[in-house]
A = this chain, B = another copy of it.
């Protein structure tokens, strides 16, 4: 018990002193919900609250990683340290995440002041946004000014992740039918800034005007102007303009209290649900009750619903 506490404290202290290794290990232990994680986060928490979080989303191949790679040095130039959270879709079969995106991000991966963390969607079912928030807090506490969360914008889970950001970029590319697909996936409307990447390709202006029409139709729903920035991530074209828009956007929404409140509320409730679920699973598995319940259901002697009802009323009498 004492040893466990010591290990957490050591990791936190070493992270404070700039050890990237300790920081990575600390994140892993929190992600794994190692014993003592709640206490560790209580130590970390008071140092949070300074970092600004930018979500970068868009369909696979839109150039999110290349954009991240070009944005990062721009922030560094301005004296802002950067943390990157890259969320990989994971294969449920192999358990491994694809590393292609990491290869594209090689420009920043070894740069001083930049900390890159990959997160797999696997194992964080329903809790991906929660896990990302923990990582954001840890990076925040240990001095990152800007945290970029890069995620394939598909699936409800990933939409939830970008919702935790202070500002979200949606990256589109010409000629891919990105417009309609993005609407389908529900990511178009969470954009604070649109980026039309690969804007040297045919159809870029068309895409800009398509997005603009869509925004015009939605007028009234949006209380603010959504900029559309054209970039060529591979050459860095337009990236400076994007940084300017980002910093402006972060400045202007810094004090949106109602939104902050909603976010904290959601965070507390999600954290609570996850912890309660974990307790239930652990307790029930240990007691062997789950095995007998499964047998009864398979034998059709009982139904799952009456079992649930019994347990819930016993917990909450």
Contacts and interface: CB of A to CB of B under 8 A. Distances in A.
Interface string A162-195: 0100000000000001000101111011100000
Contact of A184 (B42, B89, B269, B281): B89
Interface residues of A, number: 79
Interface string A97-140: 01000000000000000000000011011111000000000000
A269 B89 CA distance: 24
A290 B273 contact: no
Contacts of A293: 268
A229 to B, nearest CB: 21
A183 B60 CA distance: 12
Contact of A294 (B90, B159, B268, B277): B268
A241 to B, nearest CB: 26
Contacts of A126: 125-127, 157
Given A261-B294, A276-B280, A308-B271, A121 B189 contact: no
Interface stretch (A63-71, A201-209, A296-304): A296-304
A156 B305 contact: no
Interface stretch (A3-11, A15-23, A230-238, A309-317): A309-317
Contacts of A309: 38-39, 42
Contact of A304 (B61, B94, B156, B268): B268
A165 to B, nearest CB: 14
A288 interface: no
A178 to B, nearest CB: 11
A246 interface: no
Greatest chain B CB density within 10 A among A41, A98, A125, A304 is at A304
A303 B46 contact: yes
B60 A283 contact: no
A298 B261 contact: yes
A74 interface: no
A35 interface: no
Contact of A186 (B90, B159, B267, B284): B90
Given A156-B128, A156-B157, A272 B312 contact: yes
Which 9 A-B residue pairings sit nearest by Cβ, starting from the closest? A155-B155, A126-B126, A93-B189, A45-B303, A154-B154, A273-B277, A91-B186, A41-B305, A121-B156
9 contacts: A89-B156, A92-B156, A93-B218, A121-B186, A125-B126, A155-B157, A268-B297, A269-B281, A272-B277
